[in-house]
């Protein structure tokens, strides 16, 4: 069951690569597919606004606790992040409390230890990689015009105690959050609303600042609130701010993410604007002038190419 509040607007774009679209008999519900996608909704909203999909991963063996424990042990330590789960929506990332447990203990006791954990880049395990790629191929098969030049396919598994909060933040990737077990409430905010998210904040974020943002209580009335149950999935357009709260059961979610030609370009443009602002300029906001965006992007590419040539010559 999904409840929506607030107004949704068209903002940014996104993209993907896989089997030829002609090979898919229909874009709607294909037997054997892992995702259930409404083609019309996808066409109108992909990369521009949030929308809900269905999935068939709720009984998948890769999300059983024993298998997730095995995965957590096999991943490099840097790919296993966890902390206390009772965070503020406005959490200062430098003051995030630890939970005092090991990663294995955290998974073992997740129902009672009030914690939040993410297993990052689960594609490092071939089984999770296969599952991630299957899901993303189904997304690409929708043939959306923005779904070109997909790269950086990455998967994340979130394991959370009842009541755990993910603070208010933005992400640079196109994301579909697939709810596998338990229920989650997602408050998602329009990424084009500059009263919520300024150009300067975006420039700092794309240039390396922490993803957590300052949340003010008067923002909440602008949220679209989605109640995700097992079998639901939610599309997050790039840099749409959001925060998440788990309901009263343990939650497991599979986040399937990717970047595209369009998102890589956007990344470059915000970097360039950050640089220009640092030099005392007031850069034209990304997306407001096609010509200026084009000039900045191509200037960046030329500078980078020259830099790489000079670097190669000096070695």
- Interactions with Fe ion, residue window 265-304 (CB under 5 A): none
State the minimum distance, in angstroms, from the CB of residue 294 to Fe ion.
Answer: 30
Residues binding Fe ion: number (CB under 5 A): 1
Compute the least distance from the CB of residue 258 to Fe ion, in Å. 14
Which of 17, 171, 227, 267 touches Fe ion (CB under 5 A)? Answer: 171
Write down the least CB distance from residue 66 to Fe ion, Å: 27
To the nearest whole angstrom, how small is the minimum distance from the Cβ of residue 257 to Fe ion?
A: 9
Q: What are phi and psi of 246, to 5 degrees?
A: -80, 140
Cβ closest to Fe ion, residue 171 vs residue 249: 171
| C-beta neighbour count of 290 within 10 angstroms | 8
Binding region for Fe ion (CB under 5 A) out of 66-74, 165-173, 186-194, 298-306 = 165-173
Task: Considering the complex, state which of residue 171 and residue 264 has its C-beta at the smaller distance from Fe ion.
Answer: 171
Q: Give the Cα separation of 111 and 52 in Å (integer).
A: 27
CB neighbours of 107 closer than 8 A, spacing ≥ 6?
Answer: 65, 68, 69, 72, 117, 159
Stretch of 51-59, 82-90, 166-174, 304-312 lying at the interface with Fe ion (CB under 5 A): 166-174
| Per-residue binding letters, 120-159, with Fe ion (x by CB under 5 A) | ----------------------------------------
Rounded least distance, CB 187 to Fe ion, Å: 11
CB of 170 vs Fe ion, minimal distance in Å: 7
Question: What is the end-to-end Cα distance of the chain in Å, rounded?
Answer: 59
Q: What is the nearest approach in angstroms of Fe ion to the Cβ of residue 52?
A: 16
What is the largest distance, in Å, between two alpha-carbon atoms of the chain?
A: 60
Residue with tokens 């949220």: 223
Considering the complex, state which of residue 48 and residue 296 has its C-beta at the smaller distance from Fe ion.
Answer: 48
Options 84-92, 138-146, 152-160, 171-179: segment touching Fe ion (CB under 5 A): 171-179
Q: Which CB atom, from 17 or from 171, has the smaller least distance to Fe ion?
A: 171
In angstroms, give the least distance from the CB of 297 to Fe ion: 26
Does position 81 interact with Fe ion (CB under 5 A)? The reply is no
Of the listed pieces 9-17, 79-87, 169-177, 215-223, which binds Fe ion according to CB under 5 A? 169-177
CB nearer to Fe ion: pick between 36 and 211: 211
Give the range of 23-31, 106-114, 167-175, 275-283 binding Fe ion by CB under 5 A.
167-175
Q: Which residues bind Fe ion (CB under 5 A)?
A: 171
């Amino acid at each position: 069951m999904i409840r929506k509040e607030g107004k949704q607007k068209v903002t940014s774009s996104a993209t993907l690569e896989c089997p030829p679209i002609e090979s898919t008999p229909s874009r709607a519900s294909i037997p054997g597919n892992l995702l259930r996608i409404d083609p019309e909704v996808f066409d109108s909203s992909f990369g521009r606004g949030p929308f809900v999909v269905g999935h068939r991963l709720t009984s998948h063996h890769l999300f059983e606790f024993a298998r997730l424990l095995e995965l957590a042990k096999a991943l490099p330590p840097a790919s296993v992040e966890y902390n206390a789960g009772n965070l503020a929506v406005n959490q200062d990332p430098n003051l995030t409390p630890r939970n005092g447990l090991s990663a294995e203990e955290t998974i073992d006791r997740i129902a009672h230890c009030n914690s939040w954990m993410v297993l990052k880049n689960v594609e490092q395990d071939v089984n999770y990689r296969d599952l991630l790629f299957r899901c993303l191929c189904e997304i690409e098969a929708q043939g959306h015009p923005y779904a070109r030049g997909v790269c950086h396919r990455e998967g994340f598994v979130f394991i959370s105690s009842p009541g755990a909060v993910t603070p208010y933040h933005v992400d640079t990737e196109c994301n579909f959050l697939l709810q596998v077990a338990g229920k989650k409430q997602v408050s998602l905010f329009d990424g084009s609303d500059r009263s919520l998210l300024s150009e300067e904040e975006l420039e700092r974020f794309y240039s390396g600042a922490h993803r957590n943002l300052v949340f003010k209580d008067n923002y909440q009335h602008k949220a679209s609130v989605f109640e995700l149950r097992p079998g639901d999935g939610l599309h997050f357009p790039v840099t749409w701010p959001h925060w998440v709260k788990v309901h009263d059961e343990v939650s497991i979610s599979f986040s399937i993410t990717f970047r595209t030609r369009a998102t890589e370009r956007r990344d470059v443009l915000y970097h360039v604007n950050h640089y220009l602002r640092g030099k005392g300029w007031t850069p034209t906001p990304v997306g407001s002038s096609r010509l200026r965006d084009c000039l900045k992007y191509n200037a960046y590419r030329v500078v980078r190419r020259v830099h790489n040539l000079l670097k190669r010559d000096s070695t």
